[in-house]
Amino acid sequence: MENLLDGWGITLATFSPLVGVAVMMLIPKEREDQHKLIALVTSLWVAFVGVLLLIWFDLDHTDKLQYVVDKVWIDVISSRYAVGIDGMSLPLILLTMLVVPLCIVYSWNHFPDPVNPKAFLILILILETGMIGTFVAQDLVLFFVFFEVVLLPMFFMIAVWGGDDRRYASLKFFLYTLFGSALMLVSFLALFFLTGADTFTFSGLADAVAAGGVSRNAQLWIFGGMFLGFGIKVPMFPFHTWLPDAHTQAPTVGSVILAAVLLKLGTYGFVRIAIPILPEAAVSWAPWIGLLAVVGIIYGALGCLAQTDMKRLIAFSSVAHMGFVMLGIATLTDFGINAAIMGMVAHGLITGMLFFLAGSVKERYHTLEISRLGGLLVQAPRMGWIFGFCAMASLGLPGLAGFWGEFPAILSAYNPGNGVPVETFRTFMVIAALGTVLAAGYLLWLLQRAAFGTPPEEFADDPHITDTTKHEWISWAPLLALIVAIGIYPNLVFRVTDGAVDASLTPCLSVEGEAAEKLDCAEVYKIGHDDGHGDGHDDDGHGDEHDDEHDDEHAASGN
Amino acid sequence: MAVDLLTLAFQRPHIDWHGIAPELVLLGVGALITLVDIVFLEKARPITAALAGLGLLATAVPLLTLAADGTDRVMFDGAYVVDEFSLVMKAIFLLSAYVVVLLSTNYVAEGDYWENEYYGLLLASVMGMVMMASARDLVSIFVALELLSIPAYLMVAWRKRDLRSNEAGLKYYLMGVFASAVMLYGMSLLYGVSGSTMLDDIGTAVAAAGSSVPVVTMAIVFIVAGFAFKVSAVPFHTWAPDVYEGAPTPVTAFLAVASKAAGFVALLVLVLVAFPSASDVWEPLVWILAAASMTVGNMVALRQTNVVRLMAYSGIAQTGFMIAPLAVAGHGGGSADQALSAVVTYLAIYAAMNLGAFAVIIVLARKTGSAETTSFAGAFHYAPGLTVAMTIFLFSLAGIPPLGGWFAKFEVFRVLATAGEPWGYVLAAVGAVNSVIALYYYAALARRMWADDAPDGDHAPVPMTPSLASALGICGIVTLAFGVAPQLVARFTDVTLAALGG
């Protein structure tokens, strides 16, 4: 069937939630069931549009933007309503569209205090518009607007429905993110002015920079501004301190959306904007990004070991996992960035699941103090097993999604892109590998303390502690299935992302190629590259054929 | 014989009746209100507010015909000009004044204050602003300034049985007169240098004299300082919090929006027409005013416990943002035009969002009887609509997309970045950091309204009136529309001054 959504499918998907919001605004808040129904139907409708977008997505040309719309938006500042989907954004958009309805189902009968489903669901739908919009935007101003739209609903979700310390956490979240994005905006504008391209579209700016409009020094500064904006959102060490507070205080659903999608806005910004537009600066910044990434991996893991609160522990594990993603990005290789996008998807699924579980545990035990928990497997065996499964997935067990995020990211650090110091990244690789050991340590320890053993006395005969409920099953099953599916067949994601990543790195590779010739490092690169390729064979074992293919292409373009 | 001589000496200047039609309509309405008061006395009370509101809207009609006509009109030998810039500014003044009338309707009636005089003075003050937008020589600028200020002094002290209102009126009067005096001194120096009161001539004379002449520098510093009082820029801001707090809240809204905008109009015209060549004098001056206003305003706002004082300091910080584009307006190559558009855009959006915020404050204060931030707690539980509206206005002031304020800030940043010089970038970075600081108190107030419990658990609904509701509706829709489709506002504010060759 021909593609019926071309030209308007993205707009439909992005703004449909707002239609739901408009309808809900008109209904008095006492009619809670109607609100729940409208929100669910709206989010399912968006997911349905998402499925159609996937069906008509041309998988043979993932490097091309599809469903493109490019219309004048704010003429005076040459900003355009330019949207499109390519292989890099598609998985993240689908993840968003999946997570939102699941969150609505999950909260069906247990809205946190002060209940008010109307306001809560409206905020979730506004969030959905912001998140999808950020992933489809192809214009810096449009991107910035959507990037910020996400802030407000999340702020209120934490501030109104959050835990005891919500006032502090919500403001901290807001201020950190806004600080980054304010400087990011200034660097966007500097980029706009310095290129003289008279356009804010990503491709237009990338071309203008490639044509040599911007001095190297200015590029470094501009990249620095973007780095702050995206890095705080990721969050990278040392900007991560808002995350544990926000996660711990947010209501369950807020935590899930925060972990599953919001954190990805930062990493997505790096691969979509910062690196393709400013490849030269990216090469110079790469070692520093890599350094902060591995510091984040180790620091996050050590932080986890020290936590006494289950939700806070999962939050710190996010810092570590996003460290792997950033490490993959910092290598500036096709392989590394593919791994990073896989890491984003896997982290979204797994950590989202873990936060769901933490929410359910909290609801049953009314505490998340790890020392007071125990015996989940006895009291709620199914939930206990799901918890164990997610912990395994999170620590990167092969065969589950987490593995394909971490392992290739580490591997790619062995052989970073041209112009990026090889020795440094190999050191990072070793440190990151140690991080996976720590990850296994804190997750298994958490599992052992919370799920194993006999239930503590205070909860032994508590009738509230039931096994997984129907709503929980409905909202968790798709995530669990996907964790397994992607784990067994990672090509589900890699096939989509690969072409787009390759295309986005093309300017990077060519610029680096010239730089390398000047420095006469081409030989070193070639040798290093061949090594990496060989190792890839040894370590990968089976199932990584695709990535090997990829290395070949990479070698071809690199040489 | 003597009569003949007089008729010979006096030649009636050519009057472009269409060009001054808005002023004439406004004058007519003002006179009508006074007349109605004299004739009908107390019986006229219920209709004066409506009359004033309709009058302001009627004044907008000739503005539309002038805009449709589209030619720049120069009257009275260049002293009075109707160009794009003046039309847009007049529209902003009239619409803000209309919203202020809506806000005042119940406030003034319920407080048992004199109504007819209030609206008469309000219209007189608006008249001064409308004239200010067209004034292009020192004398007419000064007359317009006094015409807009003197009624405002009276209106600030309108709650005459309240000591704080009296104090505010006196303080505003003394400070205002002091600022006028400083400004007049600067103007007299300019006249001394150029021998003319026309801004065009002064521009030529200043360019010829060169900025190294100390007299010119002094004149510029005095004039900029005088208007810095008017727009409440640091360090000339000290009157604002006390006056804002003491004045009746609708008057505060009027001062914070319309009166400030009028100050900006004069500042823009003077700087861009009279001393464009002396940019090395006023650029650093404006830079310091902008950076100081943003930083000091925000820092002090963090500590406020009264919403009106909070809005006063936030207004000071916003002034810093508004004035910032002028710090790079002297670089030639269209930088003056860009700065002008950015300031006008900011003024238009600021008018909508700030008036909206004051509207919510007025409505909520009708219930709580207090403007302390604590009394706003838990408003979400009994007035969800108002809380959402206030959230929109507050976060718009903070510059969060997709609410109007983001585009205003964006334009400022764009102009600063486009100048392409280090000082521009530094000021942009100062602005970026400041917008984060500002977010703290805006978000804290919003959070208090959403998340805290209402004091005394009082969940009684808020009394609402049609005029307040329509004021809120206008401001809310405009704020949202400007944010989602900035083209709406940008199309009108992409203006030039006739003197700049537009």
What are A330's two structure tokens? 């910092």
Under an 8 A CB cutoff, do B443 and A160 touch? no
Under an 8 A CB cutoff, do A75 and B451 touch? no
Say what the pLDDT of residue A524 is: 34
Per-residue pLDDT at A533 exceeds 70: no
Confidence of residue A364 (pLDDT cuts 50, 70, 90): confident
Say what the pLDDT of residue B130 is: 94
Within the 272-331 window of chain B, which residues sit less than 8 Å (CB to CB) from chain A? none
pLDDT in tens, B386-401: 999 999 999 999 988 8
| DSSP class of B499 | G
The residue type found at B307 is V
What is the total residue count of chain B?
502
| Chain B residue closest in CA terms to A177 | B436
| Chain A residue closest in CA terms to B487 | A74
Query: Distances from the Cα of B426 to the Cαs of A192, B293, B413, B431, B433, in angstroms?
Result: 17, 15, 11, 9, 11
Say what the pLDDT of residue A554 is: 44
The closest of A154, A43, A88, A73 to A498, measured between CA atoms, is A88
Say what the pLDDT of residue A338 is: 92
- Other Cβ atoms closer than 10 A to B36: 18
* Average pLDDT of the residues of chain A: 85
- Other Cβ atoms closer than 10 A to B200: 18
A29 touches chain B (CB under 8 A): yes
Say what the pLDDT of residue B3 is: 62
Between residues B454 and A518, the one the model is more confident about: B454
Per-residue pLDDT at A197 exceeds 90: no
Under an 8 A CB cutoff, do B418 and A170 touch? no
Query: Distances from the Cα of A337 to the Cαs of B84, B304, B418, in angstroms?
Result: 52, 48, 33
Which residues lie below 8 Å from residue B233, measured CB to CB, with a gap of 6+?
B289, B290, B292, B293, B316, B319, B320, B323
What are B342's two structure tokens? 């950015």
Under an 8 A CB cutoff, do A156 and B414 touch? no
| Residues of chain A neighbouring B410 (CB-CB closer than 8 A) | 77, 141, 185, 189
Indicate the domain borders of chain A.
9-558
The closest of A505, A532, A391 to A449, measured between CA atoms, is A391
B428 touches chain A (CB under 8 A): yes
| Chain A residue closest in CA terms to B338 | A76
Say what the pLDDT of residue B2 is: 59
**pLDDT beneath 50, residues of chain B:** 501-502
| Residues of chain B neighbouring A250 (CB-CB closer than 8 A) | none
Under an 8 A CB cutoff, do A75 and B490 touch? yes
Say what the pLDDT of residue A485 is: 94
Which of B425, B441, B479, B484 to mutate to test binding with chain A, by most A CBs within 10 Å of its CB? B425
| Residues of chain B neighbouring A156 (CB-CB closer than 8 A) | 391, 450
ipTM associated with this complex: 0.81
Say what the pLDDT of residue A120 is: 92
Say what the pLDDT of residue A515 is: 43
Under an 8 A CB cutoff, do B429 and A159 touch? no
Which of A73, A186, A220 to mutate to test binding with chain B, by most B CBs within 10 Å of its CB? A186
| Residues of chain B neighbouring A133 (CB-CB closer than 8 A) | none
Under an 8 A CB cutoff, do B417 and A73 touch? no
Exposed, middle or buried, A207 (CB in 10 Å: 0-12/13-18/19+)?
middle
What are B430's two structure tokens? 């100062």
CA distance A406 to chain B (A): 35
Say what the pLDDT of residue B422 is: 85
B27 touches chain A (CB under 8 A): no
| DSSP class of B374 | G
What is the distance between the alpha carbons of residues B187 and A236, in angstroms, rounded to a whole number?
56
Within the 178-217 window of chain A, which residues sit less than 8 Å (CB to CB) from chain B? 178-179, 182-183, 185-186, 189-190, 192-194
The residue type found at B220 is I
Confidence of residue A466 (pLDDT cuts 50, 70, 90): confident
3-state secondary structure B298-339: HHHHCCCCEHHHHHHHHHHHHHHHHHHHHHHCCCCCCHHHHH
B232 touches chain A (CB under 8 A): no
* Average pLDDT of the residues of chain B: 88
Which residues lie below 8 Å from residue A37, measured CB to CB, with a gap of 6+?
none
DSSP character string of A434-451: HHHHHHHHHHHHHHHHHH
- Other Cβ atoms closer than 10 A to A552: 11
Under an 8 A CB cutoff, do B443 and A171 touch? yes
Exposed, middle or buried, B368 (CB in 10 Å: 0-12/13-18/19+)?
middle
The residue type found at A553 is E
Bridge partners, A85 (sequence order): A66
What is the total residue count of chain A?
559
Say what the pLDDT of residue B358 is: 94
Which residues lie below 8 Å from residue A513, measured CB to CB, with a gap of 6+?
A418, A522, A558
What are B174's two structure tokens? 């003394």
- Other Cβ atoms closer than 10 A to A458: 10
B181 touches chain A (CB under 8 A): no
